[in-house]
Amino acid sequence: MGVLAVLGIVLAGVLRQQARFDPAVTVAATAATAASQGSGAATVPDIATQWPAGLRAMSAAEAFTPATLSDKIDGKAELYLSANFVALTCQRVALTDAPGAWMEVFLFDMGKPANAFAVYSSQKRPDVTEAQIGDYAYVAGNQLCLVHGKYYIELVGADDQAALMKAADGLARYFVATLAVADHANMSKEQALFPPEGLIAGTVSLVATDVFGFDRLQNVFIGRYREGPDEMPLFITNRGSPAAATQMAGEFHGFLVKDCGGKETPPPAGLPGAILVDMDGSFDGVFTVGPFMAGVHQAPSRAVAERMLQRLYRSIQTSKP
């Protein structure tokens, strides 16, 4: 029994060591792969032409296209591709005075600021700390994420130690200062359309495609609301003209009834042309005002759905540009 106990302790130690990530192994593997590809392989330049003081490149930079993105972020690639992803460059960097402290830099070129904000807001978790860097930024654990023009940038540390996160903050500011962009992300006009009452702070996001499972519904701003014990999303999309908004509302209505099994219900009072559908206990409502189509998704009752629709309608009427 004593021998078995000793063997158990040895085995636990081996398994623990195997579970710990050794950056040197990854760097060596990267170098070996590059060597095996031969001298004809294209060399990806470092993300930074000169790393800020206290940082050094730890591995060679890697580049990915829409065709190869899933090789790097398998399982998440569709989110970026649906937002018109252009290219990704990533690289590991380490603190010069603490080689075991490292982070990986992900620099996504999303083509335009709205696309960068779409992936940023869709990835954003509720338990974040807002950061005043670039157009939009937050810190969550060992991650610092930001939008700078058409770029969505993630800095992911090996852990969340203070020295490493301070270096991540400095590197983020370096990118903002050195990466030239033609336009910046500014969603304040769209965010102002949402009523403040009941809005869960920091939850307004932009969904690029397949909104609520409807492949025709794209580029929709969504804010999450709390009403008593319940949460539900309100949504707004600018279709460009009143006619286009009315057409999309009709198509979405058809999708809810024909494809999702919703039941027609009397329209909400005081909203001409509005639609309300009973989705087997929850309620979806849609209305149009000018070029905007807006509504509520999965409200817990008809009364809540009508109240949220009225609140959203008034907010758009008073805030629209």
pLDDT band at 24 (very low <50, low <70, confident <90, very high): very low
Q: 3.30.1490, 1.10.150, 3.40.1000, 3.10.290: which CATH number matches 40-178? A: 3.40.1000
Q: Pull the structure tokens for residue 20.
A: 């710990």
Rounded percentage of the chain residues whose pLDDT exceeds 70: 86
Count the alpha carbons within 13 Å of 220 in the hemisphere toward its beta carbon: 26
Average model confidence (pLDDT) for the chain? 89
Nearest CA-CA partner of 135 in 118, 149, 155: 149
Rounded percentage of the chain residues whose pLDDT exceeds 90: 80
Distance CA 119, CA 84 (A): 10
Per-residue pLDDT at 311: 96
pLDDT in tens, 192-217: 999 999 999 989 999 999 999 999 99
pLDDT in tens, 78-112: 999 999 999 999 999 999 998 789 999 999 999 99
Q: What pTM was computed for the model?
A: 0.83
Give the burial string for 121-139 (b: 16+ CB within 10 Å, else e).
bbbbeeeeeebebbbbbbb
Per-residue pLDDT at 98: 86
Flag whether pLDDT at 40 surpasses 60. Answer: no
202 CB-near residues (< 8 Å, 6+ apart):
124, 126, 128, 130
Per-residue pLDDT at 37: 41
Average pLDDT over residues 11-23: 48
In order, the DSSP letters of 117-161 are HHHHHHH--SS-EE--SSSEEEEETTEEEEEETTEEEEEEESS--
Per-residue pLDDT at 26: 39
Which residue matches tokens 């085995």?
11
Per-residue pLDDT at 321: 59
Per-residue pLDDT at 8: 65
Contact 285, 267 (CB under 8 A): no
Contact 211, 199 (CB under 8 A): no
Per-residue pLDDT at 2: 67
Count the alpha carbons within 13 Å of 211 in the hemisphere toward its beta carbon: 27
Flag whether pLDDT at 33 surpasses 90. Answer: no
pLDDT in tens, 250-305: 999 999 999 999 999 999 988 988 999 999 999 999 999 999 999 999 999 999 99
